[in-house]
Every structure is written in structure tokens, then in C-alpha cells.
Amino acid sequence: MLEIQERFDTAGYEKLREAAGSAVLHITEALDREAVIGFIAYSYGTEKTVVYDYDDGGDLMLCDGLVRSVMLKSVLKGIKHMLFELDDSSKFDALKKLRFVSGDSRLCSDLDSFMNGCQSCKNKKE
């Protein structure tokens, strides 16, 4: 069964901890039968959440779940923007397919509206 859980340490993610600099690095992992199958690494700021990397194993729906989990936590903290600071530019392809970013932008703005937009789609199907 798939679970998405935040870790409370960064062991094994030292390179990403360096990328975060002085910001507190958070890691959320996707687990299947306790085996890690993906992750997203990020930090919270006052105005935006910064995503440093993610690994979805090529699964677009896993990418969606990982990013949305961080979006929701950001919205709950009152953060309105998410900036993707990814070293691997090919990872933007999935983010564009999922409409988290568009064009050459690395910023997903107005997270609250984005998350509420999903609720509107759900209501339209009913």
C-alpha cells in the first residue's frame, strides 16, 4: 500500500541538505510496503516553499502526489508560492504535464487557488 510520509531526519540526503543551505530541509518519502519508491525535498520560507529535488521513479501520478502533499502543507502554513530549484531540468517535463509550472517558469503561484481548483474539478464531476 502506498504511503506518503514526512521523515524527521535527512540521513541519506546530505547532498540535498547542502543545496538547502541555511534553510531547514524537509523530506517526504513515498513508501510501498515500507520500501522507499520516491521522495521530495523542500524547505519552507515565509513567502514560498522551495523544492530542491524529487524522485518519482518515472511515475507521473506519484509525482503529482508528492508535489500536492507539499502544496497542502504549504497552504496550511499560509505559504502562497512554490519555487522549483531543480538541478535536473528534465524533471520540469512532469511538472509541466501536471500544470504545476508552465513555459520556462519555475514558480507555482497562488497555491491556495491551485488546491481549491482541484476541489472545483471534483464538484464538476458529481
Q: In what order do the strands lie in the sheet with 81-84?
A: 2-6, 26-32, 35-44, 48-55, 81-84, 107-108
> Which residue has 504549504 as its cell numbers?
74
d(CA 31, CA 21): 27
Task: Give 118's pLDDT tier (boundaries 50, 70, 90).
Answer: low
d(CA 55, CA 94): 11
Q: pLDDT tens for residues 62-102?
A: 999 999 999 999 999 999 999 999 999 999 999 999 999 99
Per-residue DSSP letter, 97: H
Torsion angles phi and psi, residue 22, rounded to 5: -85, -10
Q: pLDDT tens for residues 27-70?
A: 999 999 999 999 999 999 999 999 999 999 999 999 999 999 99
